């Protein structure tokens, strides 16, 4: 089953993708996490992506598409994947559809999470991320047991460079301009599900699983 979680920055794609991965036993692929790893390791791709990410702009299609498709078509994701952050432009969506079709696959469902901008800005500016294992926390809604330290590995928590209020606003505008148009494509394809991204994390997971129920019943019956 190939799933896409789509929605604005801070809506909870990463949080929910990790929970779907556990429940459905499908790997989670975050292009944001992959790109940040390239940046921190100083690879050529990371060097090319860093300035775009710092500004809150999208990384050019050709760089992201090659990186993402390499993972999506690789052995760990051969039986399906929860996509988080890819595709984000019409060109990326087209490349994904073509690549999946060439392997007899297609997006089973596209789950669109949404929430008001004021909620998104609060989630983004309050997020703190573990510099060691990448776990995500929030100053108000997901506090670590020891302030400033990761519960899982004890590393220091840091604010992502693109989570300042100014860059977060840029990212929201970029999402509206470049990614939101993809919703029409997936609505037309009959795979789009609208899911409310407000409220308790567990409640949102239940809404996502409810939206997926017809697909999971169908695939186990085959």
Active-site positions read 13, 88, 127, 160, 171
Nearest approach, Cβ of 112 to ligand AP5 (angstroms)?
12
**Which contiguous run of DSSP H or E holds residue 72?**
helix 61-72
> Which residue, judged by CB position, is nearest to ligand AP5 in the bound state?
32
DSSP class of residue 143 equals -
Stretch that binds ligand AP5, among 48-56, 71-79, 102-110, 205-213 (CB under 6 A): 48-56
b/e for 13-42, b at 16 or more Cβ within 10 A?
A: bbbbbbbbbeebebbbbbbbebbbebbeee
Stretch that binds ligand AP5, among 39-47, 86-94, 97-105, 214-222 (CB under 6 A): 86-94
Determine the length of the chain.
Answer: 222
Q: Does 187 bind ligand AP5 (CB under 6 A)?
A: no
Identity of the residue, 64 or 109, whose beta carbon is nearer to ligand AP5 in the bound complex: 64
- Give, as ranges, the residues between 138 and 167 that touch ligand AP5 (CB under 6 A): 138, 141-142, 162
Which of 12, 38, 144, 186 is close enough to bind ligand AP5 by CB under 6 A? 12
Q: Which of 171, 140, 142, 118 is nearest to 15 (CA)?
A: 142
Rounded-to-integer distance, Cα 120 and Cα 116, Å: 6
The answer to whether residues 55 and 25 touch, using CB atoms and an 8 Å cutoff, is no
In the chain, what is the greatest distance between 2 CA atoms, to the nearest angstrom? Answer: 49
DSSP class of residue 136 equals E
Note if the bond before 80 is cis, omega within 30 degrees: no
Which of 37, 52, 155, 215 is close enough to bind ligand AP5 by CB under 6 A? 52
Which of 2, 9, 27, 72 is close enough to bind ligand AP5 by CB under 6 A? 9
Identity of the residue, 43 or 219, whose beta carbon is nearer to ligand AP5 in the bound complex: 43
**Which contiguous run of DSSP H or E holds residue 82?**
strand 81-84
The two three-digit tokens of residue 218, written as one number: 């169908």
Stretch that binds ligand AP5, among 29-37, 96-104, 144-152, 211-219 (CB under 6 A): 29-37
| Residues making contact with ligand AP5 (CB under 6 A) | 9-15, 30-32, 35, 52-53, 56-59, 64, 85-88, 92, 123-124, 127, 136, 138, 141-142, 162, 171, 201, 204
């Amino acid at each position: 089953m190939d799933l896409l979680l789509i929605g604005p920055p801070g809506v909870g794609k990463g949080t929910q993708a990790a929970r779907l991965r556990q429940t459905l036993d499908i790997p989670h692929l975050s292009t944001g996490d992959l790109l940040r790893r390239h940046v921190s390791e100083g690879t050529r791709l990371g060097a090319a992506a860093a300035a775009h990410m710092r500004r809150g702009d999208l990384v050019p299609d050709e760089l992201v598409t090659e990186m993402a498709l390499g993972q999506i078509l690789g052995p760990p994701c051969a039986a399906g994947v929860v996509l988080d952050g890819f595709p984000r432009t019409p060109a990326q969506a087209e490349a994904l559809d073509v690549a999946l079709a060439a392997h007899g696959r297609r997006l089973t469902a596209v789950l669109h999470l949404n929430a008001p901008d004021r909620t998104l800005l609060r989630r983004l500016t309050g997020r703190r991320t573990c510099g060691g294992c990448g776990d995500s926390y929030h100053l108000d809604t997901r506090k670590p047991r020891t302030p400033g330290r990761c519960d899982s590995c004890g590393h220091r928590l840091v604010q992502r460079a693109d989570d300042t209020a100014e860059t977060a606003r840029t990212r929201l505008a970029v999402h509206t301009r470049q990614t939101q148009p993809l919703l029409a494509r997936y609505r037309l394809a009959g795979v789009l599900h609208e899911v409310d991204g407000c409220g308790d994390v567990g409640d949102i997971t239940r809404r996502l699983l409810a939206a997926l129920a017809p697909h999971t019943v169908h695939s186990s019956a085959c």
